[in-house]
Amino acid sequence: MGANQAQTLKAIREAEAYDGPSIVIAYSPCIAHGLKLGMGHAQAEQKAAVECGYWHLWRYDPRLEAEGKNPFQLDSKEPDWTKFQDFLKNEVRFSSLLKQFPEEAVELFKVTEENAQWRLNGYKRLAAQTF
């Protein structure tokens, strides 16, 4: 929601309108994340999550396929991956690992980023498909 308010509205509206099963996966900051700036910045944190590539916005609507269009639409812009590690460090759920197991944390955070890139690469391939 915080990353793109209109996209949230659009996704919910389209999901509800679809005459069949639909699912909306909504990124939700939680006190369990330990936002360094506090829960008052939950919306800003969502924005940061999408900007850095931690979370991606997309919609998949099978109705488009029937119209001969690509049902997969990638809504978020190309992330700024340089912000990714800082994003992690702004949440206690990640930063506490850095305190406890500093060396392993660096390794694991690299994997976190690679996983996010891997997901995005998949989305990009889908978005680039021709119908």
Partner 1 sequence: MAKQKKFLTCDGNQAAAHIAYMFSETASIYPITPSSTMAEYVDEWAAAGRKNIFGETVRVDEMQSEAGAAGAMHGALQAGTLSSTFTASQGLLLMIPNMYKVAGELLPGVYHVSARALASHALSIFGDHQDVMAVRQTGCALFATGSVQEVMDLAAVAHLSAIKSRVPFVHFFDGFRTSHEIQKIEQLDNEDLAPLIDQEALAAFRQRALNPEAPVARGTAQNPDIYFQAREASNVYYNKVVAIVEDYVNQLSALVGRKYGLFDYYGAEDADRVIIAIGSVTEAIKETIDYLISKGEKVGLVSVHLYRPFSAKHFLAAVPKTAKRIAVLDRTKEPGATGEPLYLDVKDSFYTSTERPVIVGGRYGLSSKDTTPAQILAVYENLSLPTPKNGFTIGIVDDVTFTSLPQKEELAFDGGPFEAKFYGLGADGTVGANKNSIKIIGDNTDKYCQAYFAYDSKKSGGFTASHLRFGDKPIRSTYLVNTPDFVACHVQAYLRLYDVTKGLKKNGTFLLNTVWDEEQVKQNLPDNVKKYLAKNHITFYIINATGIAGEIGLGNRTNTILQSAFFKITGVVPYELAVEQMKYMIKKSYGKKGDDIVNKNNAAVDRGADYVKVEVPAEWANIQTERFVSPGVADAPAFVKKTVFPINAQTGDDLPVSTFTGREDGTWDQGTAAYEKRGVASRVPVWIPENCIQCNQCAYVCPHAAIRPFVLDGDEQAKAPAGYTALKATGKQFDGMQFRIQVNVLDCLGCDNCVDICPGNKNGNALKMVPIEEEYDNQANWDFSVKEVKTKQHLVDTSLNVKNSQFATPLFEFSGACSGCGETPYVKLISQLFGDHQVVANATGCTSIYSGSAPSTPYTTNENGRGPAWANSLFEDNAEYGLGMNIGAEKLRDRIERLMHEVIAGGRLPENIQTLFEEWIANRNSYVKTRELADILTPVLKEYAAANPLCEHGRQLAGLTHYLVKRSQWIIGGDGWAYDIGFGGLDHVLASGQNVNVLVVDTEVYSNTGGQSSKSTPVGAVAKFAAAGKRIRKKDLGMIATT
Q: Which one, 18 or 131, has the nearer CB to partner 1?
A: 18
CB 61 within 8 A of CB 71: yes
Give the shortest CB-50-to-partner 1 separation in angstroms: 14
Give the shortest CB-28-to-partner 1 separation in angstroms: 4
Where residue 68 falls (left for φ over 0; alpha for ψ -120 to 50; beta otherwise) is left
Give the shortest CB-21-to-partner 1 separation in angstroms: 5
CB 58 within 8 A of CB 72: yes
Q: Which one, 80 or 115, has the nearer CB to partner 1?
A: 115
The one-letter code for the residue type at 29 is P
Enumerate binding residues for partner 1 (CB under 8 A): 1-2, 5-6, 8-9, 12-13, 15-16, 18-33, 38-44, 46, 58, 60, 71-72, 88, 93-94, 96-97, 99-101, 104-105, 108-109, 111-112, 115-116, 119, 122
CB 84 within 8 A of CB 52: yes
Q: Which one, 77 or 111, has the nearer CB to partner 1?
A: 111
Give the shortest CB-35-to-partner 1 separation in angstroms: 9
Q: Quick one: which H or E segment has residue 72?
A: strand 72-74
Where residue 34 falls (left for φ over 0; alpha for ψ -120 to 50; beta otherwise) is left
